[in-house]
């Protein structure tokens, strides 16, 4: 997984690949750009995640599901979440 990090001190934003259980490691070590401690935060990109989630549902259910999905979207709006179970 690739995560985005931001340093409050030098205002640098960068991406790093980490396993999910180690994703907060860069926030616990000094900034790789300016060496400041405790100034790194992990950024959250909810837009990217929901986009991937929608693709996952389509892949899981197959092509025939696309028409049903379209109807659900029309009825419930783009902000609704679709249960896979």
Q: Compute the least distance from the CB of residue 71 to Zn ion, in Å.
A: 49
Number of residues located near Zn ion, criterion CB under 5 A: 6
Q: Of the two residues 34 and 49, which places its CB atom closer to Zn ion in the complex?
A: 34
2-7, strands of its sheet edge to edge? 13-17, 2-7, 40-43
**Is 39 within 8 Å of 7 (Cβ atoms)?**
yes
Please tell me the distance from the alpha carbon of residue 65 to that of residue 34, in angstroms, as a whole number: 50
Judged by CB under 5 A, the residue of 2, 22, 29, 34 near Zn ion is 34
Residue listed under structure tokens 């205002």: 11
Q: Of the two residues 9 and 23, which places its CB atom closer to Zn ion in the complex?
A: 9
Q: Of the two residues 9 and 54, which places its CB atom closer to Zn ion in the complex?
A: 9
Judged by CB under 5 A, the residue of 33, 42, 54, 73 near Zn ion is 33
3-state secondary structure of 32: coil
């Amino acid at each position: 997984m690739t995560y985005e990090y931001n340093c409050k001190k030098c205002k640098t934003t960068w991406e790093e690949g980490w396993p999910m259980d180690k994703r907060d490691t860069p926030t616990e070590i000094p900034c790789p750009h300016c060496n400041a401690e405790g100034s790194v935060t992990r950024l959250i990109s909810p837009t990217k995640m929901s986009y991937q989630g929608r693709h996952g549902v389509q892949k899981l259910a197959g092509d025939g599901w696309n028409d049903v999905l379209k109807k659900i979207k029309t009825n419930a709006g783009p902000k609704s979440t679709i249960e896979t179970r």
